Amino acid sequence: MSKKLTIEQIQQQAEKLGIETAALQAIHEVECRGSGFNPDNTPVILFERHVMRQRLIANKRDFDLRMMLIERPDLCNKSSGAYGLYSAQHGRLAAAAEYHRESALESCSWGIGQVMGYHWQSLGYTSLQAFINAMYKDEASQLDAMCRYITVNNLVNALKSKDWKAFALGYNGKAYAKNNYDIKLANAYKKFAEGS
């Protein structure tokens, strides 16, 4: 069975949200680099070293935090960045998991929607592992996580009114303008709405 997302699955999720299919297609195109999976069938992730630090603090892993700051500042740091290649992300995750698996899994953005692992509870998953399993299952499950995030963060109305600035701010944070995220979304929406 294919893990690829179908237009029917996008239409179903858009219907559930009460938005145009073209709006959801636009987010999918801009967020996703073509696939929710790597060539080796692992989900596309981005390991965030500054989030690892935050998650170790939130999970009360003081010893692991101290050790990582000394031994692996490339994986645990106050500053973001130093991501390395996309192909290296699962290796980075595995190395961080040796210190604390839960914090490491929570420190990645996952799948086509690049939803952060630490959102698992607010998105209604029964456990962090249930969220991870969904990310490994298929792109439809990854899209579901993205739509849950849109709903939980009250971004549906921004999509209904095509307020791309408000959506970009809510979905990607204050730095969205630096990457012209709102403009990319507007252009992608226009393309899909016009059916090209």
Q: Which domain holds residue 158?
A: 7-35+141-193
∠ CA 100-104-109, nearest 5°, is 170
Give the residue from 110, 133, 157 where a domain finishes.
Answer: 110
Are residue 106 and residue 50 in the same domain, yes or no?
yes
Measured between alpha carbons, how far is 73 from 110 in angstroms, rounded to an integer?
22
Give yes or no for a contact between 53 and 77, defined as CB atoms under 8 angstroms apart: yes
Residue 164 located in a structural domain: yes
Residue 146 located in a structural domain: yes
| CA 2 to chain CA mean position, Å | 21
**Helical H runs in the chain?**
7-17, 21-31, 49-58, 62-71, 89-97, 101-106, 128-137, 139-152, 156-160, 164-172, 181-193
Does the pLDDT of residue 179 top 90, yes or no? Answer: no
Q: What is the pTM of this model?
A: 0.94
pLDDT in tens, 78-90: 999 889 888 899 9
Are residue 69 and residue 103 in the same domain, yes or no?
yes
Residue 119 located in a structural domain: no
Are residue 150 and residue 186 in the same domain, yes or no?
yes
pLDDT in tens, 3-58: 999 999 999 999 999 999 999 999 999 987 778 999 999 999 999 999 999 999 99
